[in-house]
């Protein structure tokens, strides 16, 4: 009987010692992401709007856009295979899950022609300087379990930023 009580006490103490939620699933409310608002002006004709994506690059200026994406040095929102950003709206809210790190270039890119590998241009970039046609974008530092808010981008199809892409 005494042995049973000791075994029960050991099992009970192990149970309570193991209840630190170490094996619990991660909190679904914790995300590592950027979020913001993309505003649009001067939409082009429908024949020049094939796709529209938010792309985040680790380095500025980026090299070949396709290589940057396929090598994991650039990330695309919405994800490839999903429909892109909506056309002909005043604005789009977004939240983009990313790995922690520094991203030097956050840009909205437009596919304007049928060639998926070359017909892209930057139409808006994240930039906090407030200087028109500033060629240097503002980088963002993303930390684990933090949603970095107000990464807002203004897109003016008639006045795109400097084009840094080597395609």
Domains of the chain (ranges plus CATH)?
31-156 (2.60.40)
pLDDT in tens, 42-52: 999 999 999 99
Other CB atoms within 10 A of residue 161 CB: 23
pLDDT in tens, 95-116: 999 999 999 999 999 999 999 8
pTM for this model (two decimals): 0.78
Q: Are 60 and 134 in contact (CB under 8 A)?
A: no
pLDDT in tens, 144-153: 999 999 999 9
What pLDDT score does 117 carry? 84
* pLDDT greater at residue 68 or residue 132: 68
- The closest of 124, 94, 91 to 106, measured between CA atoms, is 124
The position carrying tokens 């950027």 is 34
**b/e sequence 19-35, b meaning 16+ C-beta within 10 Å:** eeeeeeeeeeeeebbbb
4 pLDDT exceeds 70?
A: no
What pLDDT score does 12 carry? 38
* pLDDT greater at residue 3 or residue 81: 81
Question: Across residues 16-32, what is the average pLDDT?
Answer: 58
Q: How far apart, in whole angstroms, are the C-alpha atoms of residue 40 and residue 81?
A: 23
16 pLDDT exceeds 80?
A: no
Where does the pLDDT of residue 60 fall: very low under 50, low under 70, confident under 90, or very high at 90 and above? very high
């Amino acid at each position: 009987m005494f042995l049973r009580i000791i075994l029960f006490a050991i099992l009970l103490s192990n149970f309570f010692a193991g209840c630190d939620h170490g094996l619990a699933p991660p909190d679904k409310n914790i995300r590592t992401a950027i979020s913001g608002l993309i505003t649009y002006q001067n939409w082009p004709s429908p024949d020049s709007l094939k796709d529209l994506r938010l792309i985040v690059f680790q380095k500025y200026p980026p090299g070949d856009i396709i290589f940057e994406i396929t090598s994991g040095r650039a990330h695309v929102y919405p994800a490839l295979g999903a429909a892109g950003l909506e056309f002909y709206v005043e604005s789009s809210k977004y939240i983009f899950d990313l790995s922690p790190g520094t991203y030097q270039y956050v840009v909205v890119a437009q596919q304007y022609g049928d060639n998926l590998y070359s017909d892209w241009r930057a139409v808006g970039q994240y930039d906090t300087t407030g200087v028109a046609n500033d060629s240097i974008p503002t980088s963002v530092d993303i930390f684990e379990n933090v949603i970095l808010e107000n990464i807002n981008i203004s897109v003016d199809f008639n006045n795109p930023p400097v084009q840094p892409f080597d395609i």
